[in-house]
């Protein structure tokens, strides 16, 4: 299997994504004779081999979809060796670093290789990624994943502490990404790794104190356009609101009709009607007969019985409104970007 070259049929040793729902996915490696247990029952790998990606596969108690892995799907399902960058931050990094086919990128540290897969996808087919990881076992695991995913030709994995020993690269990179506890120790070496015609650099830091030190180091080394961004997902509660349309009419020409029990009236119109009735009674100063009382009570304003607010009818004005939640988690870290221009 290769994330770089798509094929439409599931083969043995492919890594596939089992999609059971938006928040229920699994990444598995297909092997003949193996069985994977899902919430819908057992899924035999032999039943998957040869099917088309995107197909629905039935289990004893339901069904699921077989999806071809993409960097975004892999980010949601990869084995976590460290904290990872998710799609929201990855999209900002890819845009701000101007990643494109043919670009050369230097990354440290590799971690769980979530960002690495997205970088490789962005720089294919002629680009290359140099990624560094100080933890030996994590570096080996990442190298194995790149090989299984058919990406080993586009990435070089190095086990090295760049904060202490540097990158040992010079004039090769269009962009540099740093995810380090003390990025200011690696920034001088990152500057040497950038091409002489300049480039972009990004530092990911969870704490604002790290950002302050990194910005000071960038400015001291001659970087420009230094900026820090925080990418958060803001959820909105969206609802459809139905409001009654007001009906305007003339009070003088409108004849009243009996009110149906339980109907709702416009309060302003009823107040106006009561005041007018009181004035007429004071001027005439007569005692109403029983017949007059019956006529008076039967004559009320022809006010429409408006629908309750929120009820969807043809007479209501409908629109969608959204309000953000009061408290939302989501802070992952700060992204500090800087540009190095040629001298």
Binding site as annotated, residues for S-adenosyl-L-methionine: 112-115, 133, 179
Nearest to 141 by CA among 90, 77, 79: 79
b or e along 273-307 (b: 16 or more beta carbons within 10 Å of the residue's beta carbon)?
A: beeeeeeeeeeeeeeeeeeeeeeeeeeebebeebb
DSSP summary character for residue 9: B
Write out the binding residues: 112-115, 133, 179
Q: What angle do CA 17, 63, 16 make, to 5 degrees?
A: 15
CA R_g for the chain: 34
User: If residue 316 lies in a helix (H) or strand (E), which one and from where to where?
Assistant: strand 316-324
147, two tokens: 């090989």
Nearest to 332 by CA among 158, 82, 109, 72: 82
DSSP summary character for residue 127: -
């Amino acid at each position: 299997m290769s994330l770089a070259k798509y094929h439409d049929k599931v083969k043995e040793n492919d890594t596939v994504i089992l999609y059971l729902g938006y928040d229920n996915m699994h990444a598995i490696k297909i092997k003949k004779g193996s069985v994977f247990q899902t919430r819908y029952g057992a899924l035999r790998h032999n039943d998957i081999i040869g099917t088309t990606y995107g197909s629905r596969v039935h289990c004893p108690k339901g069904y699921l979809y077989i999806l071809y892995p993409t960097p975004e799907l892999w980010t949601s399902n990869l084995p976590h060796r460290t904290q990872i960058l998710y799609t929201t931050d990855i999209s900002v990094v890819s845009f701000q670093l101007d990643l494109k086919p043919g670009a050369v990128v230097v990354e440290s540290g590799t971690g769980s290789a979530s960002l690495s897969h997205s970088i490789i996808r962005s720089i294919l087919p002629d680009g290359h990624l140099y990624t560094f990881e100080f933890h030996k076992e994590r570096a080996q695991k990442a190298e194995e994943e790149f090989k299984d995913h058919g990406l080993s030709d586009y990435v070089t994995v190095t086990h090295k502490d760049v904060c202490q020993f540097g990158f040992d690269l010079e004039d090769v990179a269009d962009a540099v990404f740093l995810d380090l506890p003390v990025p200011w120790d690696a920034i001088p070496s990152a500057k040497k790794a950038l091409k002489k015609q300049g480039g972009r650099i990004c530092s990911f830091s969870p704490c604002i104190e790290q950002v302050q030190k990194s910005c000071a180091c960038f400015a001291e080394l001659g970087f420009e356009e230094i900026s820090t961004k925080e990418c958060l997902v803001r959820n909105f509660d969206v609802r459809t609101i139905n409001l009654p349309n007001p009906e305007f009419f003339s009070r003088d020409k409108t004849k009243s009709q009996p009110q149906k029990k339980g109907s709702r009236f416009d309060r302003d119109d009823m107040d106006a009607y009561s005041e007018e009735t009181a004035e007429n009674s004071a001027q005439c100063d007569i005692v109403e007969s029983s017949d007059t009382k019956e006529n008076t009570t039967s004559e009320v304003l022809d006010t429409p019985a408006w629908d309750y607010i929120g009820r969807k009818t043809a007479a209501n004005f409908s629109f969608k409104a959204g309000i953000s939640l009061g408290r939302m988690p989501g802070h992952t870290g700060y992204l500090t970007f800087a540009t190095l221009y040629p001298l």
